[in-house]
Amino acid sequence: MNKHYLIIGSGVAAVHAAKAIRDQDPDTEISILGEEGHLPYNRIKLTKGLFTDLHSEKVLIKKEKWYKDNRIAVQTSTRVTNIHTDRQQVETADGRMITYHKLLLCMGARNRALPVEGAGLKNVHTIRDLEDADSLKASLESGNRIVTIGGGVQGLETAWALHEAGYEVTVIEAAPRLMARQLDETSSKMLKETLEQAGVKVILHTGVTSITGVESVTGVTLDDNSVISCDHVVYSIGIVPNTTLVKDTPIDTRSGIVVNANMETSAPHVYAAGDIAEMNGHVEGLWGGAMEQGRIAGNNMAAAEPVAYRKAVPVTFFNAFGISLFSIGDTDEARCDQSVSALENGVYTQIFVKDYTMTGAVSWEGAAASLTYKSAIESGCSLEGIDLSRSISEIMTEVKRRLQS
């Protein structure tokens, strides 16, 4: 059988896997099958750049020429309906049987559905693909009031884009604070104040019990029985891996498709990467992790010796409402021995320390400053001997010196 490396799904994990395969094998056949009618694109731009031209080449992960130059066949508008692991074939919706030498599953995830009455009304939206973004924009009218449900990164980026476009926006978050997975309490409070100063209403520690309306949205009811009138609802409350395709196969699943450190599934010759992959009981669901998992999976599909995936240090950049902040590593104070925070020259920073090493950092210093923090966390740079009562800038100057030595 001729070697045919087949990838189902057309996200960032798929593209990085295809590149890794081609780096290992310059001659083999590589195919990417994607359900959408577009070349693989950068999904994080759907919220960050909601009102930009999302159909321009700028949103593509790689331009068409790159796929041609690397002889990677991308089949758009192609839905796979069955996987036959016993004979190493997949079946498409149009009846084709495609044989593979190695198969990579990169079907990603869908946005978690909003489990409330009225979620099926017109003008209830979630943004996961280009069609979702286009549909939202096409339905908006001047003067519309919009409720965004979810105070995580995607929800707040959406709120920012809508606010910038001139719409009245209310953010509702069930947790006690915004971006609770990425930020410390002080940063969350500062972020809330910034949104409110910009004119966005923020409601925390409150759930939505129903969406009201007959055909279209007219409002949302909160768990204290209060009602907020609105014309649209946009929700972002987490993701669910797209495992339906492997339901009746020997491929093991829990929340996602279970993989080992080499990104191998329980079925021979089948790998998984990205938002669909579950390793050690955890689905990462992060852009950087998906890229690296795709690279490792592609490498291991084609290389003689496998390489184990090492979970990347989580990095979040948030640029909205005039803010440029970053969160790196573990920012949970309950899991560290000590944290150091300060407001220096108008910039807030907090670092998290465990066993004399920096395990996490949150700073409003801007993306350029993140590199030293990231290097210190990734390398396990020792802070032993550094007086942590000194200023953050003095601590980081010494950290930088140690990293360079």
pLDDT interval class at 51 (50, 70, 90): very high
Measure the CA–CA gap between 79 and 361, rounded to whole angstroms.
42
The CATH label, of 3.40.50.1000, 3.10.310.30, 3.50.50.60, 3.40.50.620, for the domain at 4-109+240-302 is 3.50.50.60
Residue 40 near residue 49, CB atoms below 8 Å: no
Token couple for 348? 């807030």
Give residue 180's pLDDT.
94
Among 101, 33, 139, 124, which Cα is nearest to 270's? 101
Q: What is the pLDDT of residue 118?
A: 98
Per-residue model confidence as pLDDT tens digits over 272-322: 999 999 999 999 998 999 999 999 999 999 999 999 999 889 999 999 999
Q: Tell me which DSSP letter residue 178 carries.
A: T
Average pLDDT of the residues in 3-22: 97
What pLDDT is recorded for position 48?
86
25 SS3 class? coil
Tokens (6 digits) for 209: 């019990």
Helix (H, G, I), strand (E, B) or coil at 19: helix
Give the whole-angstrom CA distance, residue 59 versus residue 130: 10
Residue ranges, CATH 3.50.50.60, the chain: 4-109+240-302, 124-235
Look at residue 405 and tell me whether its pLDDT is greater than 90: no
pLDDT of 239 higher than 80:
yes
Report the CATH fold assignment for 124-235: FAD/NAD(P)-binding domain (3.50.50)
Q: Mind listing the pLDDT tens digit for each residue in 95-153? A: 999 999 999 999 999 999 999 999 999 999 999 999 999 999 999 999 999 999 999 99
* Contact between 115 and 208 (Cβ < 8 Å): no
Tens digit of each residue's pLDDT (9 = 90 or more) over 27-50: 999 999 999 999 999 999 999 899
Predicted confidence (pLDDT) at residue 1 exceeds the cutoff of 70: no
Judged by phi (left if over 0) then psi (alpha if -120 to 50, else beta), residue 262 lies in alpha
Mean pLDDT of 311-334: 94
Task: Kindly provide the residue ranges of all beta strands, DSSP E only, lying in 236-356, ordered along the sequence.
Answer: 239-241, 257-258, 270-272, 277-278, 315-320, 323-329, 338-344, 347-354
Q: What is the pTM of this model?
A: 0.93
* pLDDT for position 312: 84
Question: According to the model, what pLDDT value does residue 370 have?
Answer: 95
Q: State in words which class domain 315-404 has.
A: alpha beta
